[in-house]
Amino acid sequence: VFLGLSVKDVVTREMVQAMAPRPIVFALANPDPEIAYDEAIASRPDLIFATGRSDYPNQINNVLGFPYIFRGAIDSGATEINEAMELAAVHAIADLAKRTVPPIVNAAYKMNNIKFGPQYILPKALDPRLITVVSSAVAKAAMDSGVATRPIKDLDAYRLELRKLMGYDDKLLRRFTEEAKRQPKRVVFAQANTDNMLQAAVYAFQHGTCYPILLGNEEMIAKRAKKLDLDLKGITIVNPRHDREAARRKKFAGLLAGKHQRDGINLMEASEKMYDRNYFGMMMVETGDADAFITGTYAGGGNTVKIAKEVIGIKPGYDHFATMHILNTKRGAFFIADTSINHNNDTAELVDIARLTHEAVKNYAHYPVMAMVSYSNFGSNPEHGPIEIHEAVNVLHEQYPHITVDGEMQIQYALNKQLRDKTFPFNTLKGKDVNTLVFPNLSAANTVFQMLLEMGAAEVIGPIQIGLNKPIHFTSIHTPVRDIVNLVTMAVIDAAVYERVNGDKR
């Protein structure tokens, strides 16, 4: 072991080569270490190397310890910082390094799969878990060692308060996650051969959210998992094209052909479709072999939408389905639609989208207060676009008076109730805070949530499918792991709602 706290270039390549197997070199001189990173790594392939610099792996920096040691000490009213508290911080940091790295940390460092090993022996400085894990460990050690004058009775509640201090008050998502963990479901992942889908499936399984069913070639998935250092133990893999699935393909084909025999789909064509993982996976949900399905789409995703309509179908009482995103902002949660499916909406489509969004928001234990937004206000511009929304609002008021909705209105009036009520005192949302927004078309809705996402103004959950008979969810093939994990959570809740409504205890 070499621990350097001196100046640059005092360690040579020959010195490192002379060390015992798997040497540990902590070259902590700043700004330049005792031996350059590239030179040290080139000299010994088995080297475990760390510096004080953020541009190399394994940055050893007091930011990992001091702020959280002080936080735990202050919050517990510790009369001193003793050795027990210091050791607690050390063990907490070491334990955190061995845990699964959350997607947000991978994204922050523009990496795909940070994992414990020679290139990652301690947490990253931007890991948001540090404040909760280390501070609470230090506070507990202060209490256990008898130096705390303000003992913390509920450490779990303390950890949540620490997250709020750092701006990580994700109460809505935590509630969804806890609900999903209480009743995990079988979720089919269509693109298990992609890194992000595979990582999301394993992460969701390890955290108790779902029981993944991965579609694809077993050997290829296992090879990819090994490359990513992912443990597939306990996870089901199904290859729709394998001979083992011949009987199930035959069964699925017969059901699909029977359902659409008068729509131009015969048994032979249906049999061919069952080699497609989207058809096969959705049929698993349709027949009860699984509870929910997640598929990654390329631009547009039109073919996948078509398959969903064929296999699953649209809910009775509706002619369209849609998608919704949840924006978790400092002002609270906002629900926006339609963000992925319907392009240029006519009045009937807008009515269906509004009704579906209303029901979905209620299912998530929120009371929906809906504004249908446009670039005009209450009929001020009777042109194509605003007129469809204007007519949709009239239909909703007349036929669905239980829905709290008004429009069309510009976005500033939707989100500023004082301005809205002063300018348009006749509006039916008077005194209410809008939390649900329906946009005139796909372009407007999608642009708004993408803009807010890129600006960091909100945490985004979705797209959440609303309107199909069963839990089928679509996302981009390039969606980050964290967002897929969030979508898995919503799919599990969707499946639980389906069971509750339909009395299905599969």
10-residue mean pLDDT profile of the chain (506 residues): values are 90 93 92 91 92 88 91 96 96 90 69 81 87 94 96 89 68 82 94 91 94 96 91 95 95 94 88 95 96 79 86 94 87 87 90 95 86 89 78 95 93 94 94 93 83 70 91 88 91 89 63
Kindly state whether residues 45 and 80 are assigned to the same domain.
Answer: yes
Does residue 15 sit in the same domain as residue 155?
yes
In the Cβ-directed half-sphere of 219, how many Cα atoms lie within 13 Å?
A: 1
**Do 492 and 500 touch, CB atoms closer than 8 A?**
no
Q: What was the pLDDT predicted at 117?
A: 87
Same domain? 232 vs 373 = no
Give the 3-state secondary structure of 111-171. Answer: CCCCCCECCECCCCCCCCHHHHHHHHHHHHHHHHCCCECCCCCCHHHHHHHHHHHCCCCCH
Which residues fall within 8 angstroms of residue 43, CB to CB, at 6 or more apart?
Answer: 13, 16, 17
**DSSP of 63-121:** GGTHHHHHHHHHHTTBSS--HHHHHHHHHHHHHHHHSPPPHHHHHHTT-S---SBTTBS
Of 396, 398, 418, 416, nearest to 407 by C-alpha is 396
Residues 8, 156: one domain?
Answer: yes
Same domain, 267 and 398: no
On whether the CB atoms of residues 381 and 348 are closer than 8 A, the answer is no
Report how far residue 281's alpha carbon sits from residue 213's, in angstroms, rounded to the nearest whole number: 9
> Are 56 and 96 found together in one domain?
yes
407 close to 428: Cβ distance less than 8 angstroms: no
Q: Supply the pLDDT for residue 479.
A: 85
pLDDT of residue 456: 64
Torsion angle, alpha carbons of 271, 272, 276, 280, to 10: 0
Q: Which residue has the tokens 């210091």?
A: 86
pLDDT on residue 288: 94
Judgement on whether residues 430 and 298 belong to the same structural domain of the protein: no
CA dist 9 and 500 (Å) reads 68
Q: Which range marks the domain in which residue 342 is found?
A: 322-467
Q: Token pair 């609270």 is at which residue?
A: 332
Look at strands 332-337 and 322-329 and give their pairing: antiparallel
- CATH, residue 268: 3.40.50.10950
Judgement on whether residues 329 and 260 belong to the same structural domain of the protein: no
Number of domains in the chain: 3
154 & 8 share domain:
yes
Residue 128 lies in a domain: yes
Look at residue 488 and tell me if it is in a domain: no
Q: How far is the C-alpha of 372 from the C-alpha of 457, rounded, in Å?
A: 22
Would you say how long the chain is, in residues?
A: 506
Euclidean distance between CA atoms 13 and 10, whole angstroms: 10
Selection from 75, 120, 77, 126 nearest residue 100 by Cα: 120
Whether 215 and 244 have beta carbons less than 8 Å apart is answered as no
Contact 103, 481 (CB under 8 A): yes
Q: Looking at the domain assignment, is residue 373 inside a domain? A: yes
For residue 225, the model assigns a pLDDT of: 92
Q: Give me the CATH number covering residue 19.
A: 3.40.50.720
For residue 104, count CB atoms less than 10 angstroms from its CB and return exposed for 0-12, middle for 13-18, buried for 19 or more.
middle
Question: What separation in angstroms does the CA of 63 have from each of 17, 123, 130, 185?
Answer: 31, 11, 10, 40
Same domain, 61 and 91: yes
Residue with tokens 């475990």: 48
Rounded Cα–Cα distance for residues 119 and 122 (Å): 9
DSSP structure string for 378-394: TTSS-STTHHHHHHHHH
24 in any annotated domain: yes
> What pLDDT score was predicted for residue 384?
64
Residue 502 placed within a domain: no
User: Looking at residue 327, what DSSP letter applies?
Assistant: E
pLDDT score of 104: 66
Residues 287 and 351 in one domain: no
CATH number of the domain enclosing 447? 3.40.50.10750
Residues near 335 by beta carbon (within 8 Å), at least 6 away in sequence: 324, 325, 326, 327, 357, 360, 361, 364, 366, 368, 435, 436, 437
Identify whether 503 is part of a domain. no
